[in-house]
Amino acid sequence: MTTYTEFYRRSIDEPDDFWAEQASLIDWEKPFERVRDYGSPPFTRWFVGGLTNLCHNAIDRHLANRADQTALIWVSTETGQEETYSFGDLHAEVQTMAAIILSLGVKRGDRVLIYMPMIPQAVFAMLACARIGAVHSVVFGGFASSSLASRIEDARPTLIISADAGCRAGKVIPYKPLLDEALELVSTRPAKVLIVDRGLAPTPMRAHRDESYISLRQEFLGATVACEWLESSSPSYTLYTSGTTGNPKAVQRDTGGYSVALAASMKHIFCGSPGETFFTTSDIGWVVGHSYIVYGPLIAGMATLLYEGLPTRPDPGIWWRLVEKYKVTTMFSSPTAIRVMKQHENESLFEADLSSLRSLYLAGEPLDVPTGKWINGALRKPIIDNYWQTESGWPILALANGVESADSKFGSPGLPMYGFSVRLIDDQTGEEITVANRKGILIIDGPLPPGCIQTIANDDERFVKTYWSKVRGRYVYSTFDWGVRDEDGYYFILGRADDVINVAGHRLGTREIEETISGHPNVAEVAVVGVADPLKGQVAVAFITVKDRSAVAASEGASTQKHEILKLVELRLGAIARPARVLFVPALPKTRSGKLLRRAIQAIYEGREPGNITTIEDPSVLGAIAESVIPT
């Protein structure tokens, strides 16, 4: 039996042979002539000359053996709807959507911008674009007009596909007015806009531009649209990185390398098999949604569960009842979502039959130890942290239990995944860190493995300038994250390099302080930010939500809790890491994808405007943050 160490070393030392073997996990219309071309570093072309198609590998190749097997399950706790599509059904719906898109003037290589809620038609649209060789660019549903406009301006789509509205926490969020306003702000507009009318909000249609999906679906129902066979390096999609400021930054992904990377990850990392069910709780507007709601599970012949709603509505047990109902075998969520559930730990969360569930994977931000231990104890299932980025497209650090079983370590996303030549370097000297438990910047030696970012769309220079530098004559990719590696080779992510606080000359990672504070029994969530200080340059301030509000309701109780938290930090990290202030707040500002808006917190504390907050889940939280900052 091959050990993971042997498997990994072969991917680094013999990449051509290794990836040629992984390429057999997908279908090729024409075999590739060369595994990789790294003749113009840091740009890489994978499976050169090979012809394939993402949609074919996600749907068509399964029709012979599992046309009647479930492929897509849609559940909306917002509208009370549930729909199930077999691979045969999905094949028919995607061809219909493809015929509609073609009728609206889209050609191979054109851009199609998708601005939609979590509904089946969004998945149909993505797969239809892949089928005909159009490049889709999904923009997170609910972005405000200005943010949407900047992405439309950058993508210059031939067609935009949207909907009348989405739903969040029982509230209807109209999309069409936001889209119309965005289109007034751009200099180049698409000729056509396709609207899926869910009947949730008024949808004024603009003559000669806006088209009804419902009407066109009737017209093209039963259409046959063949897959366009694309050279492996052809772009499959672009995706704007979250938190984009200034000019939008569109990560461009290829076709063949991405297909192979996802197929391999479903086998080696997520251990998925045809006929099983994969439930990823992300949104299709983010990379996790692309890779592990839409493409990855379908490529593996699995059913994928598309969920519209909150983890706590109608109650915090909803996800687990879905696991029982649809016999979910693999689940993928985020630490933030689990921390939200942890606030309801005294309720009946886990009464559902979870016998089908093998593992819960968590990613999107570092998983703190208390949260990891809590959900592990509650589910009694393996909790597998993993670390990656929009740019990588699939996990950089994880556990490849499909190759060799390994134990998780709470607080660590695991080991370097095959193909990623991961190292730690000193941020001051650039020297590689070879000793255990010493902090450094996580970098990856070029070339990046298949499935990773090709370039920034239409801006090769920015791609090189943003991500790459030369160390000892070799191109290295910076993740911009701090990390340490223990004696067993497990990595621990300490936070973004730009989230370092410089306190009187001492460089402190906010992640380390947050991890420590999370160990207090009454802490539910914490965000530590560095704020300007006239004496020390910067100081740390901790914003904390608690499980038991009554414990901090009175000034005496709050004072006691603050003392305990500060003592905890001092004992574990030293006095230098003690936050200058500890503030108890009712909630922390987050994006709709669950990421904490630390920069907005920092800005409010320093008396500045919080900047672009269009993705915030609840803007009123910022007011509570501002009130907490006022000295009492």
How do the domains of the chain map onto residue ranges?
4-309+386-421+456-467, 504-629
- Residue 216 has which token pair? 């066109």
Q: Which of 412-426, 427-441, 534-548 has the lowest mean pLDDT?
A: 534-548
- Taking residues 210-230, what's their average pLDDT? 98
Q: How confident is the model at residue 487 (pLDDT cuts 50, 70, 90)?
A: very high
Residue whose structure tokens are 């490049």: 135
Average pLDDT value for residue range 593-597: 72
Arithmetic mean of pLDDT, 123-148: 91
Higher pLDDT, 609 or 138: 138
Q: State residue 569's pLDDT score.
A: 87
C-alpha–C-alpha distance, residues 23 and 263, integer Å: 9
pLDDT of amino acid 246: 53
72-86, 192-206, 233-247, 351-365: least confidently modelled range: 233-247
Q: What is the pLDDT of residue 64?
A: 97
Confidence of residue 243 (pLDDT cuts 50, 70, 90): very low
pLDDT band at 625 (very low <50, low <70, confident <90, very high): confident
pLDDT average, residue stretch 535-543? 81
18: its two tokens: 């290794």
Given a cut of 70, whether residue 615 has pLDDT beyond it is no
Q: Which of 205-209, 542-546, 568-572 has the lowest mean pLDDT?
A: 568-572
Q: Given this model, what pLDDT does residue 614 score?
A: 60
For residue 365, what pLDDT is reported? 77
CA pseudo-torsion sign 540, 546, 552, 553: positive
Question: Could you identify the residue written with the tokens 């949609």?
Answer: 55
Among left, alpha and beta (phi > 0; psi -120 to 50; other), residue 62 is: alpha
pTM: 0.84
pLDDT greater than 70 at residue 244: no
Cα atoms found within 13 Å of the Cα of residue 61, Cβ hemisphere only: 19
Predicted local confidence at residue 301, as pLDDT: 98
pLDDT band at 245 (very low <50, low <70, confident <90, very high): very low
Q: Looking at the DSSP assignment, which residues form a beta bridge with residue 533?
A: 537
Instruction: Give the residue-averaged pLDDT of 369-377.
Output: 91
Higher pLDDT, 330 or 612: 330
Q: Which of 156 and 429 is assigned the larger pLDDT?
A: 156
Alpha-carbon separation of residue 406 from 8, 381, 382, 411 (angstroms): 14, 14, 11, 15
Q: How confident is the model at residue 49 (pLDDT cuts 50, 70, 90)?
A: very high
Specify the pLDDT at position 488: 96
Average pLDDT over residues 40-65: 97
Over the stretch 112-130, which tens digit does the pLDDT of each residue have? 999 999 999 999 999 999 9
Given this model, what pLDDT does residue 502 score? 63
- Residues 224 and 221: their CA atoms lie apart, in Å, by 9
pLDDT at 535: 65
Confidence tier at 197 by pLDDT (50, 70, 90): very high
Residues in the chain: 632
Cα separation, 620 vs 632, whole angstroms: 21
CATH number for the domain whose boundaries are 504-629: 3.30.300.30
Residue 611 has pLDDT above 70, yes or no: no
Residue 136 clears pLDDT 70, i.e. is over it: yes
Range in 147-156, 264-273, 531-540, 557-566 with the lowest mean pLDDT: 531-540
Q: In this predicted structure, what is the pLDDT of residue 597? A: 82
* 92-101, 244-253, 303-312, 452-461: the lowest-pLDDT one: 244-253
pLDDT at 541: 92
Residue 613: band (very low, low, confident or very high) from pLDDT cuts 50, 70, 90: low
Is the pLDDT assigned to residue 233 strictly greater than 60?
yes
Q: For the chain, how many helices (H) and strands (E)?
A: 21, 33
Tell me the per-residue pLDDT of 55-71, one tens digit each, with 9 for 90 and over. 999 999 999 999 999 99
pLDDT value of position 341 = 86
Q: Which two tokens stand for residue 632?
A: 């009492």
Q: Mean pLDDT, to the nearest integer, of 118-144?
A: 93
Give the C-alpha separation, 368 to 386, whole Å. Answer: 12
| Dihedral angle of Cα 92, 95, 101, 102, to the nearest 10 degrees | -150
Mean pLDDT along residues 555-582? 86
User: Are 522 and 541 a contacting pair, CB within 8 Å?
Assistant: no
Residue-wise pLDDT tens digits, 256-269? 999 999 999 999 99
Helix (H, G, I), strand (E, B) or coil at 375: helix
pLDDT at 528: 92
Average pLDDT, the chain: 91
Q: Write down the pLDDT at residue 632.
A: 47
Position 369 confidence tier, pLDDT thresholds 50, 70, 90: confident
List pLDDT tens digits, range 375-407: 999 999 999 999 999 999 999 999 999 999 999
* pLDDT > 70: percent of the chain: 95
Does domain 4-309+386-421+456-467 match CATH 3.30.1360.70? no
User: How would you list the strands of the sheet with 70-76, edge to edge?
Assistant: 81-86, 70-76, 303-308, 277-280, 330-333, 359-362, 383-385
Q: What confidence score (pLDDT) does residue 169 get?
A: 87
Cβ-proximal residues to 504 (8 Å cutoff; 6+ apart), any chain: 535, 536, 537, 576
Q: Is the pLDDT of residue 368 over 70?
A: yes
Summarize the confidence of residues 465-480 as an average pLDDT: 88
